[in-house]
A and B are shown apart, each in its own frame.
Chain A
Amino acid sequence: MKEYQEDSLNQDIELEDSDKEIRNETQKRERNLLGHKSRKPFLFILFGMICLIGLITVVIVGEIIKPDSTGVASEQGVSTKEDNPDIRSFGSSGAIKEGDLMTDNNKEQERLNALAEESRVYCIISSAPYFQDIDSKGSLSISNPKESKYYTQVIIKTDDDKEMYVSPLLAPDEKIESDYLTNKDFKAGSYHCNAYFNYYASKDSSSYLGSMCAEINVVID
């Protein structure tokens, strides 16, 4: 019985010891935690100081690169002001007109009509030039009237694209009443031909404007 009481007493003592150890450990942890808590205010203060320094820097830099009244940076080329730009001073170029941006159709139509009319070209030729023989002059009756503003050259070709006649370049108010065929390689007969009138703004080929064509019937007796 005594032994049993001693054993239980010893066990109680051991339990008390382990309780003490646990308490000590807990106290240590609490102390550590108390130590961390005591550093937090310092961190807050540090963070606050960094923010304050940043803010001061922004204000100073902002003063240095202060934009002009429109929000466009003056010399440093950086725009920082995006809202509420001031009205800039402006000159009077007379560019302002009443109305919307739609094209004035009538004026545009008149302008295009005038341009087309200015480019009017003329095509005058006998519908049936007659040549008594291949070596005789024929009645071509080609004309570039005085109303014309352009030079013209006439090239007569047969239906199978064989060249029969090439005229000199005619200025306005010039004509060819009769002329020799430039290609003598044709027998007597009636030839259905196209007389191409090529128009030029000057005596230079590069000033070519366009062409017209007259269907004619060339007769060689």
Chain B
Amino acid sequence: MSKRKIFMILTLVISCFLSNTASASTSVTTVNGCISPSFINVSAPAKVIFSIDPNAEKSNQFISPMIVIENHSNAPVKVKIENGAQNFTQTDNSRWKPADVLPNEYRWDLLGTKESESYLALGMKAVQGSWRKLFREETLYVKEQNKSIDSIVFGELNGNSSAQLVLVSNYGLSFSEKKECDYKIVWSFSLAD
């Protein structure tokens, strides 16, 4: 037997011994995951102005901006208005302060100046198609929100997306002077369930 063969046999024996030894031992690797809580990162308009032109055609009388809520978070968020009249109401500085009523309380096209200048039914409606989940399709009127004992959830937005809402209103058509009205909406956001 040559020296070379003896060397090869010894190498094999040693390697087998070493491999057997390795399989017999146990190795534990601890994986420690640290996940930061998600940020809530959203934006919305602070001021929403609408105008009523009683002289225009019916479909063009009430003009309001599109309310765009943007979710800049990577996580989906829930959009709602908490209960409490202070979260959807006229501002203290509003120059015109009509009583908030529901649309079915008056025959709006029959109102004279006194009633036209005294009552307004203002609401907000989610625009379909832009939401991850839409929980409320019907209009939420100020008076309804003010009387609600629960928070009103509109829906959920996907991460890095936006959704739209529009103002809806019923109003009289007889005004003796220009009227301006400011409402404040306190949006509430949370991570989606």
A interface residue numbers (CB < 8 A to B): 101-103, 105, 108-109, 112-113, 115-117, 119-130, 141, 143, 147, 150, 194, 199, 209-216
Are A210 and B186 neighbours in the complex by a CB distance under 8 Å?
A: yes
Give CA–CA (A96, B46) in the complex, Å: 37
Which residue of chain B lies nearest to A195 when distances are taken between CB atoms in the complex?
A: B40
Known interface pairs A103-B60, A210-B186; A109-B44 also in contact (CB < 8 Å): no
* Selected contact of B49 from candidates A116, A124, A199, A210, CB within 8 Å: A116
Give CA–CA (A218, B167) in the complex, Å: 35
Flag whether B190 is at the interface (Cβ < 8 A): yes
Give CA–CA (A109, B167) in the complex, Å: 12
Told that A116-B68, A123-B44 touch, could you supply 7 new A-B pairs with CB distance under 8 A?
A: A102-B57, A116-B48, A121-B44, A147-B43, A211-B186, A212-B42, A215-B189
* Selected contact of B190 from candidates A103, A117, A150, A215, CB within 8 Å: A215
Total contacts A to B, CB within 8 angstroms? 117
Are A103 and B45 neighbours in the complex by a CB distance under 8 Å?
A: no
A-B contact pairs, 12 of them (CB 8 A): A105-B56, A105-B60, A116-B45, A117-B68, A119-B45, A121-B45, A126-B39, A127-B190, A147-B43, A210-B186, A212-B188, A213-B186
Known interface pairs A102-B57, A112-B64, A116-B66; A121-B39 also in contact (CB < 8 Å): no
Assign chain B's interface to a size class: 35 or more
B81 nearest CB across to chain A (Å): 9
Give CA–CA (A204, B192) in the complex, Å: 35
Are A141 and B46 neighbours in the complex by a CB distance under 8 Å?
A: no
A138 nearest CB across to chain B (Å): 11
Most buried by A among B43, B57, B64: B43
Are B188 and A214 neighbours in the complex by a CB distance under 8 Å?
A: yes
B interface residue numbers (CB < 8 A to A): 37-51, 53, 55-57, 60, 63-68, 72, 75, 82, 184-191
Are A216 and B47 neighbours in the complex by a CB distance under 8 Å?
A: no
Residues of A within 8 A of B64 (CB): 112
A42 nearest CB across to chain B (Å): 62
Give CA–CA (A68, B190) in the complex, Å: 74
A181 nearest CB across to chain B (Å): 17
Are A108 and B51 neighbours in the complex by a CB distance under 8 Å?
A: yes
Are A124 and B41 neighbours in the complex by a CB distance under 8 Å?
A: yes
Residues of A within 8 A of B51 (CB): 108, 112
Residues of B within 8 A of A109 (CB): 63, 65
